[in-house]
Structure 1
Amino acid sequence: MKTIRILASLLLGTMVFQSHAQQQLSLSDAIKFALQNKADAKKAGLDVANAESKIAEVRSSALPQVNLTSSLNLNPKIQQNAITMIDGKTGESTTMFIEFGQKWQSTNAVSLTQQLFNQTVFTGLKAAKTTREFYVINKTLTDEQLIEKVANSYYDVYQSKLQLKTIENNLESTTKTRDVIEGLFKNGLAKKIDLDRTNVAVTNLKASRQQVINAVELKENALKFVIGMQMSEQIAMPTSTFETVALNAVYEPIDITNRTEIQVLSKQNELLELNKKAEVSKYYPTLSFTANYGYMGMGPVFPIFSKNEGVKWNSYNGVGLNLSIPIFNGFLTRSKVRQAQIDIDKLQVDIADTKLALNLAAENSKVQIKNSLLTIESNRKNVDLAKSVLEDTNNNYKNGLATLTDLLDAENAYADAQNNLNTSLLDYKIAEVQLIKANGNLKSLIKE
């Protein structure tokens, strides 16, 4: 019975593993997985959450500041102060040394400070809100960059798998030819050199297949890293990955003003403008309200918990206004304002350069899409032609009308045509991602 349970467990585990191994990972699934598990996406989300804490930090400067202070002092030897007394009648002076203070002294006080006017604090509050908006937009940009990486890596893996499939088909065809020649050779109807040549071709194809298998494994591992997946997970892709569709965006003008990259830079410009205002605000005076209340006890013995042993307690309080007017600080504020303006000017240069780069990428993606479509159409026709040539050459070889060299060349030509088609499909898909990115629609790759 125990053996039966063990076998059942092993069978169930095998079924679960096979089911897991057969699970397909579409591009949409890969992107969703990356947005949930990749470190870059997680950190961008944490930055958004941390922005709330930064806002609370800045807001705290505008709220009342309440502090409690307590002190306990022991004066083992009280300092004596000299007092000179003059007799009004005789004019004689007498100097005496008298102790002022008590051996023990305890002070407990509560103080409150409230900013009434501080332009730097008010500007900081505005900047805090803008900072939150910046992190939200920056997270969107991080997600888009991650989507682009995932798509490019995903298509690269698929292209290598198509290349592997081409080699395996070619290997299967060449192996069949080798088996036929081997049978003919055993019956004395074929030459040994022909058998040796087909064996060499089979061996070369097996070596090429192993190289591509290794390349596929490396690219799959790279894809898993990009999406944050464990290396032990299995990846299977749908056969419709390289489907081509007509993109109307190729013939439409592209507006880059809504691109996330521009939005991030624009929000950075707002932050720099607020930073400049914060520096300018240091020219303004500051006004704050203060209040305090304290309780002080002193005497010859430990004042706390003492009962009528010469310890005297008294309270005090006060309220006031603190006004600070900056007059001259060695042109420090002026220098910082100028530095802040230069930072704004530099960012404007970056914005102009980024717009130029985005326009370049958009136009290049259009050209690449058009060229890729033409190349794909040409390569598809070439694949059909190479397949037809291979079929004709194979029939001719069987009928003794073609040489083995002609057959092997036809097989290689067919394989090359298929690889060229796969490469052109990869180029198209990469250009498609760039065009979608140029239109600011990368998240459309996530199919709901």
Structure 2
Amino acid sequence: MRKQISLLIAVLALLGKSYAQEPMPLGLQESIKYALQHRASLQATRNEERIAKARVGEIRATGLPQINGTVDAGNNFVQQQSFIPAIIADENADPNAFIPVTFTPAYTSNATVTGSQLLFDGSYLIGLKAAKTYTDLSRKNTAQSEIEVAEQVSKAYYGVLVNGERMELLNQNLVRLDTLLKQTQVMFENGVAEKLDVDRLRVQLNNLKVELQKTQRLMELSENLLKFQMGLPQAQPVLLTDELAEVDIDMGRLYPQSFEYSNRIEYSILETQRDLAELDLRNRKSGYLPKLLLNARYGYLAAGNAFSNISNLSNYLEFGYVGAQLQVPIFDGLRKHYQIQQTKIALDNTKLGFETLRQSIDLELEQASTELTNALDVLEAQQESLELANEIARVAKIKFQEGVGTNLEVVSAETDLREAQTNYYAAIYDALIAKVNLEKATGTLLTK
């Protein structure tokens, strides 16, 4: 019976392993690439880009031949009458008298095919260019959304990296402090240390365990945030393959001397918006130009006072027409004039936006550069403080074990060490976030 139970447990364990999801190995670039392919908000933005491309086809279609077919049959149950002078029917009638006459048949039917071809329309030609430019604007909007996603994924990825390193260090601290507690317990049992020394270390160990639990929860939360930013299912475990030591934070590389405003997608978008405003102005002005169209009609017509007259195909009469139509705008109450005034002002506002954007980019560059410089200075100082705290903790432990130091020094050194570690990893995270901000400011965060 015991063998059967053991076998059942083993089978269940194997089944559990088979259904467990394997962690997905992720580097930063792989994470960004996955997000660009699977993030729902980006897919919606790309759909808008597809709509813009379809809009070009819609506008182009208005310049192609337009052909329609119509079949119409009906009963004029109240036939319209017209008045004619009575003298036409009776030469002796009063010259001022009129009599009603029915000209409309009781039944009419016609089958017609109509076609038209736009020969010239200034608005159509400019509209076609504007549609293509709008497609370019949609593509740039998609690129801007991709940069924002890359920024969010990068920051979330670095958050997981920092929390993972911090949790690993806390585990090492926990092992070291647990070992020190056991050694102090032995010293207490041998009469070398006091019970107060043991209790102090136990309090420190308990506090460290609580801190480790908090860090583990933060680690889970940061992983969930990363998966959310990537568009990855929350149930999918991840395994980060990048290391903090591999992250390069080089001010010279991150802030190139030959920076150009065109590197920023926002500047490129504004250029396209200016082009659209100029095309809109040209389109308004083209409203003064004439339009030329080619029209054609061909069909059959039948009429009679009995339904049999239109149901018999031999009664249908053939007709056809082909001609050109010229539409010349003469006066519209100055409507186009005021439309052109509005469009010119809108174009001026778009051009003024370049100066505002350049100033904004300059400020953002200066701010991001300063933040990263300060973060690197703080990181250097915190790294030195961490090294000193490690050394102080190591010496305090040796002195206590050799009987020339106090337990209070050990506890104080451990407290200072954990604080130095917290400050160090906070400084690392701030430096990484500042790095991402500077890459975004210089337009180098996402390069294809």
**1:149 CA drift (Å):** 1.3
Q: 1:272 is matched with which residue?
A: 277
Taking the aligned partners of 1:286 and 1:26, their CA distance within structure 2 comes to 59
1:264-413 matches, within 5 Å, as 264-303=269-308, 306-307=311-312, 312-413=315-416
Which deviates further from its counterpart, 167-176 or 333-342?
167-176
Q: 2:124 is matched with which residue?
A: 121
Taking the aligned partners of 1:333 and 1:421, their CA distance within structure 2 comes to 66
Query: Counterpart of 1:24 in 2: which secondary structure?
Result: strand
Q: 1:146 is matched with which residue?
A: 149
Task: Give the letter for the 1:68 counterpart.
Answer: G
Q: Is the 8 A contact 1:104 1:303 kept in 2?
A: no
Per the normalisation by structure 2, the TM-score is 0.88
Cα deviation per residue 1:209-246 (whole Å; 9 max; x = unaligned)? 22222222222211111110111111222352343534
Residue 206 (str. 1) matches residue 200 (str. 2): no
Q: Is the 8 A contact 1:299 1:312 kept in 2?
A: no
**1:86 CA drift (Å):** 3.7
Q: 1:62 is matched with which residue?
A: 63
Q: 1:30 is matched with which residue?
A: 31
Per the normalisation by structure 1, the TM-score is 0.88
Taking the aligned partners of 1:53 and 1:372, their CA distance within structure 2 comes to 48
Task: Give the letter for the 1:362 counterpart.
Answer: L
Match of 1:156 among 155, 159, 163: 159
Aligned-pair identity in percent equals 28
Taking the aligned partners of 1:389 and 1:87, their CA distance within structure 2 comes to 128
Distance 1:389 1:90, change over 3 A: closer
Taking the aligned partners of 1:236 and 1:89, their CA distance within structure 2 comes to 106
1:36-185 matches, within 5 Å, as 36-81=37-82, 83-86=84-87, 91-92=92-93, 98-185=101-188
Q: Could you list the runs of 5+ residues in structure 2 that have no partner in the other structure?
A: none
Q: 1:255 is matched with which residue?
A: 260
Query: Counterpart of 1:389 in 2: which secondary structure?
Result: helix
Distance 1:136 1:88, change over 3 A: closer
Cα deviation per residue 1:349-387 (whole Å; 9 max; x = unaligned)? 332222222222223333333333333333333222221
**1:262 CA drift (Å):** 0.9
Distance 1:117 1:89, change over 3 A: closer
1:176-255 matches, within 5 Å, as 176-186=179-189, 189-238=192-241, 240-245=243-248, 246-249=250-253, 250=255, 252-255=257-260
**1:254 CA drift (Å):** 2.2
**1:297 CA drift (Å):** 1.1
Distance 1:191 1:116, change over 3 A: same
